[in-house]
Structures are given as C-alpha cells and as structure tokens.
Amino acid sequence: MKVSFLIHNAYGIGGTITTTFNLAGALAERHEVEIVSVLRHREHPHLTPHPGVRLRALVDLRRERDHPLHRRPAQVFPAAEYRHRQYSELTDRRIAESLADTPADVVIGTRPGLNVHLAVQAPRHVARVGQEHLTLDNHSPALRTALRRAYRGLDVLTTVTEADAASYRRKMRLPGVRVEALPNSVPDPVLPTADGTAKVVVAAGRLVPVKRFDLIIEAFARVAAEFPDWQLRIYGKGEEQDRLRGLIERLGLWNNVFLMGAATPMEAEWVKGSIGVAASDFEPFGMTLVEAMRCGLPFVSTDCPHGPREIIKDGEDGRLVPVGDSAAFGEALLGLVRDDELRRRMGRAALDNARRFAPGPVVARAEGMLQEAIEARGGDRPGAPSGGGVHRTLVSQGHAARDLARAAASSALRTVRKGRR
C-alpha cells in the first residue's frame, strides 16, 4: 500500500505534526509512505521522520515567499479556513500538481482546507481520507457550509473522538462517506516510567488562552500553601508567557512554579513528574494527557469537550473537574498530592489504560480502514465531486501535468463556489 499524507507545514511544531509523524512512521514499517508538506520555512523539521518516510515540500518559503503567484489569494483552499491567508494561487497550483502526479493508493489530508483540495482534486483512482484534528463545532458556519459540499468527495473522514464522529454524522449528513473515530497514537515509552515519588506536577502545551494555564497556576497555589516542597513545571511557549509570569509573581510562587520553555520530545520531562495536569476550555483530543499517562502519570484535567472524557477514567487513572473551576481543580490536585498510595495506584492504572493509544492497536485500525477505502475506490463512486474525470480525459489526450493541475484546480474551484451559494 502506498500512503501519502498532505500536511500544512511539517517543519513546524504542533499536535497535528506529531500525530502525522507518529502514524506515518508506524505505517512505514509495512508500507510505502510519504509526507507532503505544502509549506516549508526551515532546512530541517523539528521532528525527525521515520527513516522509511519520504518528506518533501511543495512551496519553500525561504525562496518563494515573494513568488508572484504567492501574492494572489487561494481560490480552492476555503476562505473561511483559519490558515487561508497562508495559502495562495501558488499553493493551489502546487497541490493540484502533486495530487495529479501522486503514485499513492491513498492520500490523507490533515486539516479542513487540505481535505477540500483532496476531495475535489484527487484523481478518481486515489482513495481520499480526510482527518479532523479539531472538531466540527470548532469551525465557523461559513466553513461548515464549504465542507458540507466538498466533503462528499471524500471516501473516509476520521475524527479523534467518538463524540465528534457522532457530531459529524448528525450535522453534516455526508452520503457515501464513512465517518469514523480514530484516536491519535503515542509511541511506546523508551525511558523508565514515573514512580510517583517526585514532588513535581507537569503541564505542557501552547501558552494560549484556551489552555488556561492561569487556572492551573491558581489551583497549584493551594498545593504550594500546604506542600511548599512541591513544584509545578509548565512546558511550552506562546502569547500568554508574560501574563503567566506576572501571575506567578503576584501569587508569590516564584519558588514553586516554573515556565520551562518548549521541550521536544516531552517524554523525558513527563517521567520526572508524578502528576500531569491540563485545564483547557476546549480540547479536541488531548495528546498531552495520553503522553503523560503512557509515562505512568495520573492526570487531572477539566472535563471539556471533547477529548479528556474519552481518555481519563475519573477516579481510576485521573480526575475530571468542571471547566473553569480553579477551586475544584485545586482540590482534585491536592487529593493526589496528599495521598502517596492513591497517586501511585492511579499512575499504574494510567499506564495500563493508556496502552489502548499505543501505535499497535491504532495503526491496525488505520490500516484496515485505509485498505477498505482503497478497495472501495476500485470502482468510481457516483455523485462524488472530483477533478478525477478531468484527470482521465487530459491524460488520454497527453496533456502535461501542469495543464492537468490547472484543469483540476478549475474543476475544484467550481465545486467550492457551488458550496458557497
């Protein structure tokens, strides 16, 4: 099986990049796999791809940022998509060319705008799998309208939680499209797991408002007042850094709470702690939860939509508390700090329960899903919007790939515009 992932920028840092590299690497053990990065801004990616995974970029911003076509707005990539300003007529063209020439049996899109490209531009013989790494409810009404039309050209749409899969089935009504939950996987730990003795609480993620690191700091103030020898270490970077540093100073926690900066990979930092924490208002999945639990840490998290409830078993391997409630968060955290045996028992349970997110079971599900999509695509599925018909006609006439890409992009644009009416 030849598998191609289409990703925004494989040279950056983020959860989608991590999960794509994880899945691609696991599939590369038995299949031919490539990652196609639409954009590239540096020489080497932050993450090292599996040796069996080919990585290539379509637009190198180091040399092509001022390309005339990159100054023109994208027409295929949806205007309502968050990343639209980073796309252009140049990316439209390069993506179309890449899809037209792909040797892959199946192409996997990794964000809504790229799923639209895939749905309307991929040749008919290619199985199209769109991934949702956020949630349907996270998208604006305008974007949902564009997706509802274009996504009919997908074969499979995967979400990271069962709750979001149910939401897609209920609200989007995509005839002929298989909608399934496929959780993110986390590689098996390579370091000895945490033993629950360290007096350290660990948090990680982008320092942005939705992650509510301020609530974690406020809750930890209750811990520090009773247990001044405990620490909170926060890993990550972002716009909230100065505000969080100010909060630490105002609460007098400079000896207890530390902004550690970004760390990749995080495994070496998780195993230095005894409890993991997250207080997001919204969490599509919760990679940090799984990463920490796979390292033997019980986890305290807000019970936000959608991921934490499908990862944590409240009272068994961690605690779920109401969103925005720093007092409840502090009490849940104190419960684990005060009780050494409870903390260690929950840590062992977290280690056992999180094995369901190991590459083995997740990749097995993914392989079966991809193979079924390839087999189903063996016959052209009627009614799916696609540039595939254009593809066959132009190839038979011997046109160059450039002309093929332009025709496919034109077909895609007509489809997207219809969806906006």
Check pLDDT > 60 for residue 295.
yes
Check pLDDT > 90 for residue 403.
no
Last residue of a domain, one of 339, 357, 375: 357
Place of tokens 């801004």: 41
Average pLDDT over residues 112-131: 97
Residue 74 shares a structural domain with residue 155: yes
- Look at residue 120 in the predicted model and tell me its pLDDT: 95
Q: Residue 321 domain-assigned?
A: yes
Q: Residue 78 domain-assigned?
A: yes
The β-bridge relationship of strands 200-204 and 231-235 is parallel
Interacting residues of 147 by C-beta distance below 8 A, sequence separation 6+: 78, 112, 115, 116, 139, 172
Q: Residue 195 domain-assigned?
A: no
Identify whether the C-beta of residue 210 lies closer than 8 Å to the C-beta of residue 241: no
Q: 89-98, 196-205, 304-313, 329-338 — which is least confidently predicted?
A: 304-313
Residue 287 shares a structural domain with residue 307: yes
Residue 158 shares a structural domain with residue 232: no
What values do phi and psi take at 409, rounded to 5? -65, -40
How much is the mean pLDDT over the chain? 90
Residue 277 shares a structural domain with residue 349: yes
Residue 351 shares a structural domain with residue 391: no
Check pLDDT > 60 for residue 192.
yes
Number of domains into which the chain is organized = 2
Residue 32 shares a structural domain with residue 169: yes
Residue 232 shares a structural domain with residue 283: yes
Residue 348 shares a structural domain with residue 364: no
CATH number of the domain at 70, please. 3.40.50.2000
For the segment 342-367, what is each residue's pLDDT rounded down to a tens digit? 999 999 999 999 999 998 899 999 99
Last residue of a domain, one of 321, 336, 357: 357
- Look at residue 306 in the predicted model and tell me its pLDDT: 86
For the segment 149-164, what is each residue's pLDDT rounded down to a tens digit? 999 999 999 999 999 9
For the segment 202-227, what is each residue's pLDDT rounded down to a tens digit? 999 999 999 999 999 999 999 999 99
For the segment 68-90, what is each residue's pLDDT rounded down to a tens digit? 999 999 999 999 999 999 999 99
What whole-number percentage of the chain has pLDDT above 70? 90
Last residue of a domain, one of 330, 357, 384: 357
How sure is the predictor about 399, in pLDDT bands with cuts at 50, 70 and 90?
very low
How sure is the predictor about 245, in pLDDT bands with cuts at 50, 70 and 90?
very high
- Look at residue 186 in the predicted model and tell me its pLDDT: 87
Q: Residue 13 domain-assigned?
A: yes
Residue 97 shares a structural domain with residue 165: yes
Residue 386 shares a structural domain with residue 318: no
Q: Residue 298 domain-assigned?
A: yes
Handedness of CA 11, 15, 20, 21 (dihedral sign): positive
- Look at residue 88 in the predicted model and tell me its pLDDT: 98
Distance, CA of 125 to CA of 107 (rounded, Å):
11
Question: What's the farthest any 2 CA atoms get from each other in the chain?
Answer: 77
Q: 149-153, 337-341, 376-380 — which is least confidently predicted?
A: 376-380
Check pLDDT > 80 for residue 269.
yes
Structure tokens at 328: 């409840």
Interacting residues of 378 by C-beta distance below 8 A, sequence separation 6+: none
For the segment 50-62, what is each residue's pLDDT rounded down to a tens digit? 999 999 999 999 9
Distance, CA of 300 to CA of 293 (rounded, Å):
11
Residue 22 shares a structural domain with residue 146: yes
Q: Residue 246 domain-assigned?
A: yes
Handedness of CA 208, 214, 219, 224 (dihedral sign): positive
Q: Residue 194 domain-assigned?
A: no
Place of tokens 């993914």: 366
Residue 353 shares a structural domain with residue 364: no
pTM > 0.85: yes or no: no
Strand-by-strand arrangement of the 275-278 sheet = 257-261, 231-235, 200-204, 275-278, 299-302, 318-321
Check pLDDT > 70 for residue 381.
no
Task: Give the domain range for residue 287.
Answer: 200-357
DSSP collapsed to 3 states, the chain: CEEEEEECCCCCCCHHHHHHHHHHHHHCCCCEEEEEEEEECCCCCCCCCCCCEEEEEEEEHHHHCCCHHHHCECCCCCCCCCCHHHCEHHHHHHHHHHHHHCCCCEEEECCHHHHHHHHHHCCCCCEEEEEECCCHHHCCHHHHHHHHHHHHHCCEEEECCHHHHHHHHHHHCCCCCEEEECCCCCCCCCCCCCCCCCCEEEEECCCCHHHCHHHHHHHHHHHHHHCCCCEEEEECCCCCHHHHHHHHHHCCCCCCEEEEECCCCCHHHHCCCCEEEECCCCECCCHHHHHHHHCCCCEEEECCCECHHHHCCECCCEEEECCCCHHHHHHHHHHHHHCHHHHHHHHHHHHHHHHHHCHHHHHHHHHHHHHHHHHHCCCCCCCCCCCHHHHHHHHHCCCCHHHHHHHHHHHHHHHHHHHHC
Distance, CA of 119 to CA of 150 (rounded, Å):
6
Residue 152 amino acid letter: R
Identify whether the C-beta of residue 345 lies closer than 8 Å to the C-beta of residue 318: no
Q: Residue 21 domain-assigned?
A: yes
For the segment 124-149, what is each residue's pLDDT rounded down to a tens digit? 999 999 999 999 999 999 999 999 99
